[in-house]
Amino acid sequence: MDILEKIVLDKRKEVALRKTLIPVSQLEASVLFNRPNNSLAVVLKNSSSGIIAEHKRRSPSKAVINNSLSVQDVATGYQNAGVCGMSVLTDGKYFGGSLDDLLTARAAVQMPLLRKEFIIDEYQILEAKAYGADVILLIAAILTREEIKQFSEFAKSLDLDVLLEVHNQEELQKSIMPSLDMLGVNNRNLKTFTVSLDTSKSLSALIPNDFVKVSESGISNIEAIKELQPYGYKGFLIGENFMKTDNPGDSATNFITSLTS
């Protein structure tokens, strides 16, 4: 069983339990539920840096990255750095995150927030909206084409952006549909945990121009971004490279300054 299969197995149990604790009516009554969307896709289209900075305490590939920072400080630091949006990992078991992290980030900043989660049920999309997200992630490797269609259309009906993530050509080809805003190519091989920018490069030509292209994982220097920009990438999701430092906001500031100067 690979890591995604393990995560999904646990996620099904977790979501079943969460549904018994917080009914849909309570999520829909959240003050954030009617908040207008701040579109990450629109911000990325108009940005010269395209940085989406992630809050990531730990991961299956790297164990602990940084456990000692407040989400509020990280979010404020990223916003001050001028990133286009922030990704907040909300999975607890494998990444040490939570929906409260998303809520804390939402209270601290106005920029677009991505709920980084392993979505396998519409209920999690309602949670994303209720806790202040602007964007959801759908992972093609764990969903059928029918589920991608159902979940992305449901997200659009709630005024959320949709980032669809793929790892290979097969996942990409089954996923293309008009209810997606952004197509993300994940450079991390989830069987070996190795990262290669070649994944983003080789899939770029297969992504129709209607979608904002995002490259995810393993981006640790500005040279990587300069290498990917000619392939049409407008968004770059960076986690560990910022989170492994004592001050992710300052690290993002220095990164963006070198990239845009």
Ligand X SMILES: O=C(O)c1ccccc1NCC(=O)[C@H](O)[C@H](O)COP(=O)(O)O
Residues of this chain that bind ligand X (CB under 6 A): 3, 54, 56, 59-61, 186, 188, 190, 216-219, 237-241
Smallest separation (angstroms) from ligand X to the CB of 24: 27
Residue 234 appears among annotated catalytic residues: no
Residue 226 appears among annotated catalytic residues: no
Residue 116 appears among annotated catalytic residues: yes
Smallest separation (angstroms) from ligand X to the CB of 118: 8
Residue 11 appears among annotated catalytic residues: no
Catalytic residue among 11, 39, 54, 66, which?
A: 54
Q: How far is 175 from 139, CA to CA, in rounded Å? A: 10
139 touches 119 (CB < 8 A): yes
Smallest separation (angstroms) from ligand X to the CB of 33: 26
Q: How far is 100 from 97, CA to CA, in rounded Å? A: 8
Nearer to ligand X, 60 or 232 (CB): 60
| Nearest one of 139, 201, 145, 197 to 175, comparing CA atoms | 145
Residue 227 appears among annotated catalytic residues: no
Nearer to ligand X, 56 or 115 (CB): 56
Catalytic residue among 186, 215, 241, 251, which?
A: 186
Q: How far is 124 from 139, CA to CA, in rounded Å? A: 13
Q: Can you tell me which residue has the tokens 């750095």?
A: 81
Catalytic residue among 117, 127, 165, 240, which?
A: 165
Smallest separation (angstroms) from ligand X to the CB of 116: 7
Q: Amino acid identity of 93?
A: K
Catalytic residue among 11, 116, 129, 213, which?
A: 116
Smallest separation (angstroms) from ligand X to the CB of 216: 4
Q: How far is 125 from 128, CA to CA, in rounded Å? A: 5
Q: Can you tell me which residue has the tokens 């989660």?
A: 117
| CA angle centred on 2, ends 213 and 138, rounded to 5° | 30
Residue, CB closest to ligand X:
239
Q: Which residues make beta-bridge pairs with 23?
A: none
Nearer to ligand X, 132 or 184 (CB): 184
Nearer to ligand X, 2 or 28 (CB): 2
| Nearest one of 191, 225, 222, 228 to 2, comparing CA atoms | 191
Please count the other Cβ atoms lying within 10 Å of the Cβ belonging to residue 29: 10
Q: Which residues contact 171 (CB under 8 A, 6 or more apart)?
A: 140, 141
Catalytic residue among 39, 217, 241, 251, which?
A: 217
Active-site positions read 54, 56, 116, 165, 186, 216-217
